[in-house]
Amino acid sequence: MNQHILIEAITPAVDQGRYPAKWVAGRPCVVEADIFRDGHEVLRAAVRWRRKGEQRFTEAPMEPLVNDRWRGEMYLPENTRYEFTVEAWTDVYASWLEDLRKRVAVAEPVASEVIEGTTLLESFVDGAKGAHARTLREAVQALRAWTADGGAPAAAKSIAKSTAKSTAKPATKAAGKRTRGRKSAADNPGAATAGADTSTPAPDNPGAAALAIAEAPALLAAVAATQPRFGATAYEPFLELVVDRPRALFGAWYELFPRSQGPVPGEHGTFADAARRLPDIRDLGFDVVYLPPIHPVGTTHRKGRNNALRAAPDDPGSPWAIGSKDGGHMAVEPRLGTLEDFDRFVATAETLGMEVALDFALQVSPDHPWVREHPEWFYHRPDGTIKYAENPPKKYQDVYPMNFDTENRQALWDEIRDVMEFWVGHGVKIFRVDNPHTKPLAFWQWVIGGIQQAHPEVIFLSEAFTRPKVMKALAKVGFTQSYTYFTWRNHKWDLTEYLTELTDPERAAYFRPNFFANTPDILHEVLQTGGRPAFKLRLVLAATLAPSYGIYSGYELCENEAVPGTEEYLNSEKYEIKVRDWNAPGNIREFIARVNTIRRQNAALQELTNLRFLATDNDQILFYAKSDAARDNVLLIAVNLDPHTPQACTAIVPPDVIADEPVGAYEVHDLLTGARYTWGASNFIRLDPQAEPAHILRVERRHP
């Protein structure tokens, strides 16, 4: 610890730097810290950063806020890992100058203080060059002349006048320029005047001329460029940032089973069939096409339709029962096609501006090659047989879980890493990881860190519907995004409470939610009973509350048949092939496309922490605002949470939601319907779910 300076409470940081925080490339990253020292000396601070593994730092100045809190900004242009620190030091010249101002203001004798300042300036001369060196020498000469006369002789007045008129700019380095060590690091130009008493001393005050020399702009610039950082201390250990590409924060996901994309009911589709579906998904406005496992499906204990224990001869089985005589995790189901067909599917998606996400499930069918080659990688019963997966009362006789505590652990870990590398080599840059909470955190930290070191563009989505602290820990050890409890948040109070938690900056520094409105495993009661309006309102919530969201295919058709008393789909696609009419009556395709277009056209919907809930007098209407940093893009969103009944309310919009300055009336444009309204502080809303269950209002014209 530095003898005088203390730096603490740096943000962004996760568990005081135990884990990396997350950021997105190309966006300014605000860094704050508590910085203080004993006494009244003036402090300076800078945030310093570099790519992990490099030597040279880039830095930018930090400015004081209130109560010893400081703020600066880093610019992180690349999708890679960075490390950063905060450095602080005592500005000895500014501290001396501040003391001199106080004394001159009350006409105290300052001869001794001026001698101290002169000596200080002399110590800077050797490190100065060019115009700065000349300015320092002239100031030393002028202050010496003032001291020799015990006042302000003509020579001193002349030099003070000339330096005061100087317009020389401080020789500081712009944020983002590389620096070597402390001598060339950026400083805060003009900072020597911070907190100064700007009152003008009386003309007959003998210290006034000395002060004029000491605070001349050209001299302050020369000092800022040359004085060493006295007592400089940097926060250690350095903090780490995983800087992801923009897709890690913002994107719309669409989940489909390739085997269900064929034209003939009951016949197994192919990658080519799925590729023909891609333009339609693009037109719906999705960025990511997510595929369940595409590997060979086992035959031993294959499940039949609706999870039946016995499969009919034509039942395809669950894609999550991975592995057969045709291969394991590095192979594809032969009925889907070949690896070359998969490569063409990925290339087609890229041509259309989409990415392919692949399910990564660490479990196997009894027919997987690993069972034969590495039986030690699995759990065994006392009789020596391998245990199948269970989640009582659910049983998965067709699946064996992996034993991550095997004595041959490193071989297992290496094999899994090689599987990921294999699919990255085939164009997969996004993995949706199945049930990661059933595997060790240490494994995920190791494998994600290793993959991202070689391929920083790879994104990992955690599918872990489990205990909150486990979900948080998975995010901390490396998962880029996380499934959430959004599906089960359907009331105003619990949506408000949950989103307030998710958007808290401390949590958002490491946990990025992805709001799936449904999944092959989850059909919530609201969707089962609420009909078409429920599908629309839940889509608006998912797509506007979180920058990343997703739907499972069939959502656009409002499919809502469930196994009675459960959240399981009746006739689940997990166990059968479903060929659909994508233009069936009652679909909400156009609505989905409109919402996704709104997301892309409004920057306010591409952020997480800019959410602000607003008051209404009806618990069935959720009302909230999102805006960009400059408030050039302000959205007001109202959603009727009741899919059955029209609801009305008075909605309150505080003036500071709209602009920094007070505003009167303003115009809002409903991006869902095209309607325009004049609004103010208090507004009437009525939402009929049979028409549109929501407003997405953009503020377009403000009136004084």
Write the DSSP string, 446-497. Answer: HHHHHHHHH-TT-EEEEE--S-HHHHHHHHHHT-SEE--SGGG--SHHHHHH
The string of pLDDT tens digits covering residues 325-345 is 999 999 999 999 999 999 999
Cα(264)–Cα(42) distance, integer angstroms: 77
User: Lowest-pLDDT range, 248-257, 590-599, 652-661?
Assistant: 652-661
73, 78, 83, 85: CA torsion to nearest 10: -20
pLDDT score recorded for residue 49: 98
Cα(552)–Cα(536) distance, integer angstroms: 14
pLDDT score recorded for residue 392: 85
* Token digits of residue 490: 């359907």
Q: What region, left, alpha or beta, does residue 13 occupy, with left being phi > 0 and alpha being psi -120 to 50 degrees?
A: beta
Residue type for position 508 = A
Q: What is the mean pLDDT of residues 137-155?
A: 79
Band the pLDDT of 630: cuts 50, 70, 90. confident
Q: Which helix (H) or strand (E) holds 443?
A: helix 441-454
For CA atoms 371, 375, 381, 384, give the dihedral sign: positive
Question: Does the pLDDT at position 180 exceed 60?
Answer: no
Cα(358)–Cα(344) distance, integer angstroms: 15
415 carries an active-site annotation: no
The string of pLDDT tens digits covering residues 397-408 is 999 999 999 999
Cα(433)–Cα(464) distance, integer angstroms: 9
Question: Does the pLDDT at position 605 exceed 80?
Answer: yes
Phi and psi torsions of 66, nearest 5°:
-135, 155
Contacts of 49 (CB under 8 A, 6+ apart): 57, 58, 59, 74, 76, 82, 83, 84, 85, 241
Residues 486/498, Cβ–Cβ less than 8 Å: yes
**pTM (2 d.p.):** 0.91
Q: What's the CATH fold of domain 611-702?
A: Immunoglobulin-like (2.60.40)
Which residue is it, tokens 């700019």? 169
Is there a common fold for 5-88 and 611-702?
Answer: yes
Cα(558)–Cα(552) distance, integer angstroms: 11
pLDDT score recorded for residue 153: 45
pLDDT score recorded for residue 173: 38
Band the pLDDT of 242: cuts 50, 70, 90. very high
Q: What is the mean pLDDT of residues 33-57?
A: 96
According to DSSP H, which parts of 548-675 are helical? 589-601, 655-658
Contacts of 507 (CB under 8 A, 6+ apart): 472, 501
Q: What is the mean pLDDT of residues 95-106?
A: 95
The string of pLDDT tens digits covering residues 539-586 is 999 999 999 999 999 999 999 999 999 999 999 999 999 999 999 999
Neighbours of 167 (CB within 10 A): 7
User: Lowest-pLDDT range, 142-151, 260-269, 550-559?
Assistant: 142-151
Cα(295)–Cα(325) distance, integer angstroms: 11
The string of pLDDT tens digits covering residues 481-515 is 999 999 999 999 999 999 999 999 999 999 999 99
The string of pLDDT tens digits covering residues 636-674 is 999 999 999 999 999 999 999 998 877 789 999 999 999
Residue 494, CB half-sphere, CA atoms under 13 Å: how many? 8
pLDDT score recorded for residue 1: 57
DSSP letter string over 376-429? Answer: GGB-B-TTSPBPPEEETTEEETT-EEB-TT-TTHHHHHHHHHHHHHHHHTTT--
The string of pLDDT tens digits covering residues 277-306 is 999 999 999 999 999 999 999 999 999 999
Q: Which helix (H) or strand (E) holds 506?
A: helix 505-508
pLDDT score recorded for residue 623: 98
* Token digits of residue 444: 């995920």
Percent residues over pLDDT 70 in the chain:
92
Band the pLDDT of 161: cuts 50, 70, 90. low
Cα(383)–Cα(564) distance, integer angstroms: 38
Residues 625/657, Cβ–Cβ less than 8 Å: yes
Contacts of 384 (CB under 8 A, 6+ apart): none
pLDDT score recorded for residue 703: 65
Residues 470/505, Cβ–Cβ less than 8 Å: no
Comparing C-alpha atoms, which of 260, 350, 247, 245 is closest to residue 552? 260
Match domain 5-88 to its CATH number in 3.30.390.50, 2.60.40.10, 3.40.50.12280, 2.70.180.20.
2.60.40.10
Band the pLDDT of 151: cuts 50, 70, 90. low
Can the peptide bond before residue 153 be classed as cis, meaning omega within 30 degrees of 0? no
The CA-based diameter of the chain, rounded to the nearest angstrom, is: 109
Which residue is it, tokens 């605000």? 30
Q: What is the mean pLDDT of residues 5-13?
A: 97
Percent residues over pLDDT 90 in the chain:
87
Q: Where are the domains of the chain?
A: 5-88, 92-226, 611-702
Cα(662)–Cα(655) distance, integer angstroms: 6
The string of pLDDT tens digits covering residues 347-384 is 999 999 999 999 999 999 999 999 999 999 999 999 99
* Token digits of residue 127: 């490190």
Contacts of 168 (CB under 8 A, 6+ apart): 131, 135, 217, 218, 221, 222
> 209 by DSSP, 3-state: which?
helix
From the list 187, 434, 642, 692, the catalytic residue is 434
pLDDT score recorded for residue 624: 98
Q: What mean pLDDT value characterizes the chain?
A: 92
Comparing C-alpha atoms, which of 283, 294, 295, 302 is closest to residue 256? 294
Band the pLDDT of 394: cuts 50, 70, 90. confident
463 carries an active-site annotation: yes
Residue with the bigger pLDDT between 515 and 177: it is 515
Residue with the bigger pLDDT between 232 and 168: it is 232
Q: What is the mean pLDDT of residues 194-211?
A: 64
Cα(691)–Cα(573) distance, integer angstroms: 31
pLDDT score recorded for residue 659: 87
pLDDT score recorded for residue 187: 39
Residues 203/255, Cβ–Cβ less than 8 Å: no
From the list 138, 463, 556, 607, the catalytic residue is 463
